[in-house]
Chains A and B, each alone.
Chain A
Amino acid sequence: MTERTVDHRTAKRAALIAGVWAPLAVVLVGEAIMLVVGASGPDQLVTHWGVDGPDRTGPWWEFPVTVAAVDLPVLAFIGILIARLRRVAGMGRWLAPVSLGLTVMHTLGLGVGFILFNDAPAAPGITIGVGFAIGIVAAVIAGFALPHEARAADAPPVAAIPLERGEIAAWSGRVVMPGWFIALIVTIVVVVVVLGVVLIVIAGPRGALVFIASFALLLALGTTSDWNVAVGPSGVVIRSAIGWPVMRIPVSDIVRAGVAEVDPVSDFGGWGPRWVVRGGKGRWGFVSRRGPALEITRRDGRTVVATVDDAATAAAVLEAYVRPAGTGAVA
């Protein structure tokens, strides 16, 4: 299949139109419909349905307010993510269709539909179903219609550092997650702990589950936010700062060391230790920022990427053991 490829500016403009401006238009049109229909209808509408039918009523404006309060901040957040993409590819390319789909689902399924068909007996099921179906169709159409950004050229091969006979080189570096990322997770944990206290007061000992969950989150943060990367004659060791988990790649399993330009959202869907499939091969990423990263290619084509500082030196040291200078071997 031939794909239409465009340059970065065009790809980003298309993603912003499909992922921010089009959904914003959907929200605004939905708001207009809800305001017109809602203001001319009854003051009180059914706002919640239980298993046995309507179980709560409220003022009509709850619907437009909820849609605006949820969708506008989400669109702003997605807009920032798309605007910051270095390449509109991979998962970064999916931001726009997902944004459009979710906005359509929410605005139509949970806003406009509920106001238009509020007194129909089957209101919730049908409006949610129809709204979600339209949202999915919109997302799929956007997914196919969005142009593909031309693939970045592969980084040139890195030359091995010259080693004298008997000389041994070792390189070490770190992948430390950015402060805002750690702050975000700590905030989530604090919120979860507060919820746990509230739950224990309300629901008794079962609230303790929340404490276990927050402890697990903290443990995950501790083991995944700081990685040491060591490159030497025997290969590469990527180890969490607390000692576990560890990934060891023996030099005999490596065919190439190089420098890759990483965009966390496009290439790995986020930060931290990540695993994705690229070109049918597994790709591990230890991702703390965008920019140059050490890229290790194994014999079977699987790759490992770590966003270390001075990735070029790390790759040059590894190349010295993968392809010792003077052997003239080229993979």
Chain B
Amino acid sequence: MIVLIDPTAPTPVFAQIAASIAAQVAGGTIATGARLPAARELAETLGVNVHTVLRAYQALRDEGLVELRRGRGAVVTARAAGETVNEAVRSAVTAARDSGLTLPTLLSLIRKEYQQ
């Protein structure tokens, strides 16, 4: 997991941290069930206040991307991964329509890819 922030940018740092992580959850780089680093450790690495990271994790929880569990930290939820697939399906359907592919053709493409 990589987090990129720019403290000199107008966007609050906590929002930058949350956006960085959310993008990787959506892209599948961070898998369902993965544990985010402890807020204290990520804060130390980035050189920011621990509350900034906690606020970012809370924002991710409010988006439904992670669950905050006492003692286990922030865990990426299954819902987050489901969203990724939904998004990918939507874009695949759009692309198929744009190229004039029929539904059976699209389904057979998906089946072939899935069975690889």
Contacts and interface: CB of A to CB of B under 8 A. Distances in A.
Interface string A151-193: 0000000000000101111111110000000000000000000
Q: Is the interface of A mostly helix, strand, loop or mixed?
A: strand
Contact of B3 (A164, A166, A169, A234): A169
A232 interface: yes
B4 A230 contact: no
Nearest to B40: A243
A207 interface: no
A167 B5 contact: yes
A168 B7 CA distance: 8
B109 interface: no
B46 interface: yes
B102 interface: no
Interface string B1-43: 1111111110000000000000000000100000101100110
Contacts of B46: 168, 170, 232
Interface string B43-81: 011110000000000000000000000000000000000
A172 B42 contact: yes
Interface size class of A (residues with CB under 8 A): 20 to 34
A166 B2 contact: no
A228 B73 CA distance: 13
A313 B42 contact: no
Interface size class of B (residues with CB under 8 A): 10 to 19
A171 B47 contact: no
Nearest to A313: B2
A170 B45 CA distance: 6
Nearest to B36: A172
Given A233-B47, A234-B47, A169 B2 contact: yes
Contacts of B29: 310
A239 interface: yes
A167 B4 contact: yes
A173 B1 contact: yes
A230 B45 contact: yes
B37 A168 contact: no
Interface string A267-283: 00000000000000000
B47 A167 contact: no
A72 B7 CA distance: 63
A164 B5 CA distance: 10
Given A168-B7, A172-B42, A239-B41, A232 B47 contact: yes
A317 interface: yes
Contacts of B37: 172, 228, 230
A169 B41 CA distance: 14
B45 A232 contact: yes
A230 B41 CA distance: 8
A173 B9 CA distance: 26
A95 interface: no
Given A170-B42, A172-B41, A317 B6 contact: no
Contact of B45 (A166, A167, A172, A310): A172
A237 interface: yes
Contacts of A294: none
Contact of B2 (A170, A174, A233, A239): A170
10 contacts: A164-B6, A167-B6, A171-B2, A172-B1, A174-B35, A228-B37, A230-B41, A232-B44, A234-B47, A237-B44
Interface of B: 1-9, 29, 35, 37-38, 41-42, 44-47
Given A166-B9, A228-B38, A234-B47, 10 more contacts: A166-B8, A169-B3, A171-B3, A172-B41, A172-B45, A230-B42, A232-B44, A232-B47, A237-B44, A237-B45
Q: Which 5 A-B pairs have the closest CB atoms?
A: A232-B45, A166-B8, A172-B37, A170-B45, A230-B45
